[in-house]
Amino acid sequence: MAKYISLTAIGKDKPGIVSSITKALYEEKCNVEDSAMTILHGQFAMILIIKITTNLSIKALFNKLQKVANPLGMAFSYAELSSYVPKKHKSVNPYVISVYGSDRTGVVYNISECLAEDKINITDMQTTLLKYKGKDTYIMIIECDIPKKKSYEKLSKDLLRLARHINVTISLNKAESADI
Amino acid sequence: MSILPILTIPNHLLKEISIPIKKIDVETKTLIKNIKKTLYFHNRCVGIAAVQVGILKRIVAIDASRSAKEHRNNGLLIMINPEIVYFSGKISSREGCLSVPDFTGYVTRKKKIEIGYLDINGCKQHLKTDGFESIVLQHEIDHLDGKVFLDRVSSLKTDVFRR
């Protein structure tokens, strides 16, 4: 029976990280089922969901990957997945929340707490700091799932109140698939 | 004529609603000349709204012919008090903005629009357009209503990219 593990690796960005790690996985006949990779503040971060179809133990795979990851200066960890959902999660009622304003501590916490209180699930979040002419502007884009029964109007009001309180701009839009 | 400095987020003026022009006087005409000069000063710029240079008046200047990719367009358009009177269809594209430097994002907008506006001589005009030029006009009219493209990000998967 196939085993599934999550792998995370993060380290200073340089060419060759993805090829080194995926080469090791390929040699062990492991399949990359899902992945997200990005550069955060100069650090290359990768999260992979791996399917192991052979008799290879998770420990043996980890040892092999560590040999590859260590010379690259990557911090590396893994976890066996007890439950695996093969199909990608599809939002039933997806919305996009965009937030921007002066950089201050606690914006992510303030917004995510507001969503958690309304039992709204965050499905994707990206934050970035825009530096321009000595000014720092914080931008956050959240994808979330608003249960049909929940009131869009209530969330909209809650976010508007919060935006005034923490002095940022928050917009809530129904998500649409890009079709270009 | 002068090149005017561009406001960037989170400048509070970019969230304000611009005021309709009642009289196209010398001051308004000078402002329009300066907006045009500023538009052509920035290499890849295809549109500017007056609020982006700090003036809360309902004026936009666009020139969709400046896009690197060729699109059907009407060249330079100066619109005073522009108003979308008809729209249909949807189109998604990646937009950038001088007021949100270094970033672009996917935004869904109306595909075809019809706009009523005043030209620089105060004459009523009506324009039908679609595609890229329609997107540019909607983007600029959004500025007049206190919105930047970040307020319209609506695409799965995300959305905001470094240029």
Q: Is the pLDDT of residue A151 over 80?
A: no
Answer for the pair A148, A92: CB distance below 8 angstroms, yes or no. yes
Q: Quick one: pLDDT at residue B92?
A: 86
Answer for the pair A72, A20: CB distance below 8 angstroms, yes or no. yes
Q: Show the tokens assigned to B158.
A: 């995300």
Answer for the pair A150, A119: CB distance below 8 angstroms, yes or no. yes
Within an 8 Å CB–CB cutoff, is residue A166 touching chain B? no
Helix (H) or strand (E) holding B48: strand B47-49
Q: Quick one: pLDDT at residue B93?
A: 87
φ and ψ at B125, to 5 degrees?
A: -130, 160
Within an 8 Å CB–CB cutoff, is residue A41 touching chain B? no
The more confidently predicted of residues B14 and A141 is B14
| CA distances (Å), origin B118, targets A43, B24, B52 | 52, 10, 20
Helix (H, G, I), strand (E, B) or coil at A66: helix
Q: Quick one: pLDDT at residue B159?
A: 47
| Share above pLDDT 90 across residues of chain A, in percent, rounded to a whole number | 41
Within an 8 Å CB–CB cutoff, is residue A173 touching chain B? yes
Interchain proximity B156–A98, CB inside 8 Å: no
Q: How far is A80 from chain B (nearest CA, A)?
A: 27
List, for residues B25-59, the tens digit of each pLDDT value: 999 999 999 999 999 999 889 999 999 999 999 99
Residues in chain A with CB shorter than 8 Å from the CB of B93 are 180
Answer for the pair B6, B53: CB distance below 8 angstroms, yes or no. yes
Residues in chain A with CB shorter than 8 Å from the CB of B15 are 169
Q: pLDDT tens, position by position, for chain B (163 residues)?
A: 799 999 999 899 999 999 999 999 999 999 999 999 999 999 889 999 999 999 999 999 999 999 888 888 999 999 999 999 999 999 988 888 999 987 788 888 999 999 999 999 999 999 999 999 999 999 999 999 999 999 998 765 554 554 4
How many residues appear in chain B?
Answer: 163
Q: Quick one: pLDDT at residue A2?
A: 85
The mean pLDDT of chain A is 86
List, for residues A69-123, the tens digit of each pLDDT value: 888 999 989 999 987 666 555 557 888 899 999 888 899 999 999 999 888 888 8
A16: left (phi over 0), alpha (psi -120 to 50) or beta: left
Class of domain A3-80: alpha beta
What is the identity of the amino acid at B134?
A: S
Cα B11 from Cα B9, distance rounded (Å): 5
Helix (H, G, I), strand (E, B) or coil at A142: strand
Domain spans, chain B: 12-162
A86: left (phi over 0), alpha (psi -120 to 50) or beta: alpha
- Cβ-Cβ contacts under 8 Å between A and B: the total is 88
List CB contacts of B22: < 8 A, sequence separation 6 or more: none
List, for residues A6-17, the tens digit of each pLDDT value: 999 999 999 999
Helix (H, G, I), strand (E, B) or coil at A127: strand
Q: Which of residues 116-135 of B touch A (CB under 8 A)?
A: none
Q: Is the pLDDT of residue A27 over 80?
A: yes
Interchain proximity B155–A132, CB inside 8 Å: no
Q: Which of residues 92-151 of A touch B (CB under 8 A)?
A: 94, 96, 98, 100-102, 124, 126, 128, 130, 132-133, 135, 137, 139, 141, 143
Q: Quick one: pLDDT at residue B142?
A: 97
Count CB-CB contacts under 10 A for residue B139.
24
Partner residue facing A96 (CB), from B15, B102, B154: B154
Q: Show the tokens assigned to A90.
A: 């599809």
Helix (H) or strand (E) holding A102: strand A94-102
Q: How far is A96 from chain B (nearest CA, A)?
A: 6
Interchain proximity B152–A171, CB inside 8 Å: yes
Cα A37 from Cα A23, distance rounded (Å): 16
Q: Quick one: pLDDT at residue A150?
A: 65
The more confidently predicted of residues B102 and A56 is A56
Residues in chain A with CB shorter than 8 Å from the CB of B103 are 128, 130, 139
Residues in chain B with CB shorter than 8 Å from the CB of A89 are none
Class of domain A94-174: alpha beta
Q: Quick one: pLDDT at residue B161?
A: 52
The more confidently predicted of residues A171 and B70 is A171
Pick the CATH number of B12-162 from 3.40.50.10540, 3.90.79.10, 3.90.45.10, 3.40.50.880: 3.90.45.10
